[in-house]
Amino acid sequence: MAGADVTTLLIDWSQGDRSALDRLMPLVYDELHHLASRYMSHEDPGHTLQSTALVHEAYLKLIDQQRVQWRNRAQFFGVAAQMIRRILVDHARTAKAQKRGGDARKLSLDETAGLPAPRDFDLIALDDALATLAKLDPQQSRVIELRFFGGLTIEETAEALNISPATVKRDWVTAKAWLFRELNLADSAAP
């Protein structure tokens, strides 16, 4: 996928060219599907939500974005990451409610970054912790969201947030440490 082609089509789409969306989706579909597949690989084999359904639901939400002024590929995948996160969390909340507090799904916070010794966390607890972090430091919350849910690199995250890669690295390390602490506190407080 050529980043320049994606950026040009996103800008054209923002300026009202609906045919740009038709040309854009084949360019980004495989990457969206890969992202969804990576997160779905953490799910139980009998999980009701499939990667393709996740991509299609995210796609439907993306094409409804009327107020977004698309700037580049990184921004697009950042928005897609937010949507995928919301879909996964909503699905987890629904499943948990149906099970009346049964086991929640687990995801590895470090696995997407290729860090050693991954630690599993409850997706709902992670979402709640990210919401708290967003109140304390919105930028750090977005860095986690873009890197973890969006699968963006340090450089792509920097581009999406219009900050330096060094700031992304610093926020990534700080936010992960904060999240580990919060999630460990939540685990130790659980009955």
Model pLDDT for residues 69-117, shown as the tens digit of each residue? 888 888 888 888 788 878 888 887 887 776 654 454 455 555 444 433 3
What is the residue-averaged pLDDT of the chain? Answer: 79
What percent of the chain stands above pLDDT 70? 77
- What is residue 105's DSSP assignment? P
Model pLDDT for residues 29-81, shown as the tens digit of each residue? 888 888 777 767 666 666 677 788 888 888 888 877 767 788 888 888 888 87
Do residues 72 and 159 lie in contact, with contact meaning Cβ atoms separated by under 8 Å?
yes
Model pLDDT for residues 130-145, shown as the tens digit of each residue? 899 999 999 999 999 8
Alpha carbon distance 37, 170 (integer Å): 28
Burial annotation 94-132 (CB, 10 A radius, 16+ → b, else e): ebbeeeeeeebbebebbbbeeeeeeeebbbbbbbebbee
The confidence band for 154, taking pLDDT boundaries of 50, 70 and 90, is very high
Residue type, 55: V
**Residue 132, pLDDT score:** 93
Q: Which two tokens stand for residue 160?
A: 């999406």
The pTM score is 0.66
Give residue for tokens 């359904």.
53
Q: Report whether pLDDT(163) > 70.
A: yes
Q: Could you tell me the residue ranges of all domains in the chain?
A: 3-189
**Residue 42, pLDDT score:** 64
Sign of the dihedral through C-alpha 124, 99, 103, 107: negative
Sign of the dihedral through C-alpha 61, 63, 69, 73: positive
